[in-house]
Amino acid sequence: MDQTLEKIKSDCLSKIESIKTASELENLRIKIFGRNGKINQLFSEIKNVAPENRRQFGADLNQLKTELEEKLNDKKVLKSDQLTPAKSAGESDQLTSSIFGLPKVGHLHPVTQTERQLNEVFRKLGFSVYNSSEIVTDEFNFERLNVPQEHPARDMQDSIYIKEPEYLLRTQTSTIEAYLLAQKSKNLPLRAAFAGSTFRNEKVNRSNHFVFHQYQAVVVDKGITMKDLIGTMNLMFKTLYGKDVVVRYRCKYYPEVEPGVGPDMQCFSCHGKGCPLCKYAGWIEMGGSGMIHPKVLQIAGINPNIWSGFAFGMGLDRWTMAQKNIKDIRTLMGGNLAYKPNEL
C-alpha cells in the first residue's frame, strides 16, 4: 500500500481505538467518510497520481476505505454513550460556590451517597466504574442476556418502550454488562461496577417504584466460582451495614445467570419479626446474582470453556433505605429536597 495511505490508515485506526462515546464515534465517522472527509479528498486526488500508479492507488484506497468502515462498525456497541468511565468520589459535582463566595449548603442525595460508598469499595478491589445511557435497545436489554422472546418482561405492560419493539428505557443495569462483554470480549479479564436508574411499569408502594436504582458488578476471568461471588457480596453487606448484618442466600432463577442466587437481608425495620415494609416476611430481597450463563458469554464471543464469571444487580434504593433507616421508598423519589441527615 502507498506510504501516504499507510500513514493515514495508522492514524485513523489509532483514533478509532481511542473512542469512548457515541458522539466521538459519529464525529470521527464524519471526518473520515463525510462529504469533506479524508476518504473523499483522497478519491478526488486520484487524477493527480501518475498514470502508471493510478490503478494501484485506487485499489489501495478502496481497501483502506473497506478496512476503516469495518473498524468503525465494530465500535457500534458504543452507539449510545454506554461506556463512559464514571467519576471517582473525589471528583466534585458541586457548583463552584467558592468562585462566587457562597457558603456550602445541602448534601448529596442519600442514594448518591450509597452509590459512592460502593464505588470506593469496588475501586479498592481493582474494579473499573462506568456510567451508562438509560435508553437502550432490545438486543442489549434482553437478547444478549438470554431473555427469551416470550418472557413477560418484554411485554409492554412491564417495560417502557420509546419505540416498540427496538428502543426502551432500560429495565435493569445488566444492559451495561451486555455492552461491556461485547466490548471487552477480546480484552479479558474484566472487573467492572456500575450504577444507574432503571424503569419498569411497577405499582408504587412502600418498597417498589416505577423508577428505581440498581448497582451492578460483573467479573470475567479464569477460574471464577460461586465462592468469589458470595465473598464479594458479603464484603458489600459488611461494609455498609457492619459485621453483624444478617444475610441469607436463596436459589433463584434469572435468565442471564446459572446458577442464580438471591441475597436477602433481615428486615431493618422489624428485625425479622414481620412488618408492612418486608410484607411480614422478616426479610427484604436486596437483588439478584449468579454465575454468568455460558450462553451469555457465547453471545459476546467469549469461550465459556476458558472463561467464567459472576454478575449481580442490587436494588440501590433498598440498600440506601436499610443504611439510612428509611421506611418508604417514596421518600427517596418524592421530590422533597429538604433532607436532613439526622432525620434519615
pLDDT at 96 over 90: no
8 Å CB contact between 18 and 68: no
Top mean-pLDDT range of 43-52, 102-111, 290-299:
290-299
Q: Using one digit for the tens of pLDDT, what is the confidence trace for 256-289?
A: 999 999 999 998 888 889 988 888 999 988 889 9
pLDDT for 319: 86
**C-alpha cell read off for 281:** 416476611
pLDDT for position 122: 92
Predicted pLDDT of residue 153 = 64
Residue 29 has a pLDDT of 81
pLDDT tens-digit map of 59-91: 788 888 888 887 877 765 444 445 556 555 444
* Per-residue pLDDT tens digits for 221-244: 999 999 999 999 999 899 888 888
* β-strand pairing of 257-266 with 287-292: antiparallel
CA nearest neighbour of 108 among 100, 99, 117:
117
Lowest-pLDDT range of 109-118, 199-208, 296-305? 199-208
- pLDDT given for residue 85 in this prediction: 60
* Distance (Å, whole) CA 219 – CA 127: 9
Query: What is the per-residue pLDDT for 295?
Result: 96
Tell whether the model's pLDDT for residue 12 goes beyond 80.
yes
Q: Which band of pLDDT confidence, cut at 50, 70 and 90, is reported for residue 39?
A: confident
Is the pTM of the predicted complex or chain greater than 0.85? no
Mean pLDDT of the chain, nearest integer? 83
State which fold the 98-343 domain adopts: BirA Bifunctional Protein; domain 2 (3.30.930)
Encode burial over 214-248: b for 16+ CB neighbours within 10 A, e otherwise. Answer: bbbbbbbeeebeeebbbebbeebbeebbeeebebe
Q: How far apart are CA 313 and CA 289, in angstroms?
A: 6
- Give the model's confidence band at 203: pLDDT under 50 very low, under 70 low, under 90 confident, else very high: confident
Of 77-81, 167-171, 208-212, the poorest mean pLDDT is in 77-81
Three-state SS sequence of the chain = CCHHHHHHHHHHHHHHHCCCCHHHHHHHHHHHHCCCCHHHHHHHCHHHCCHHHHHHHHHHHHHHHHHHHHHHHHHHHHCCCCCEECCCCCCCCCCCHHHHCCCCCCCCCHHHHHHHHHHHHHHHCCCEEEECCCEEEHHHHCHHHCCCCCCHHHCCCCCCEEECCCEEECCCCHHHHHHHHHHHCCCCCEEEEEEEEEECCCCCCCCCCCEEEEEEEEEEECCCCHHHHHHHHHHHHHHHHCCCCCEEEEEECCCCEEEEEEEEEECCCCCCCCCCCCCCCCEEECEEEEEECHHHHHHCCCCCCCCEEEEEEEEHHHHHHHHHCCCCCHHHHCCCCCCCHHHC
Higher pLDDT, 300 or 32: 300
pLDDT of 61 reads 82
pLDDT of residue 77: 47
**What is the reported pLDDT for 102?**
55
- pLDDT score, position 75: 65
State residue 8's pLDDT score.
87
Is 292 buried (19+), middle (13-18) or exposed (0-12) by CB count in 10 A? buried
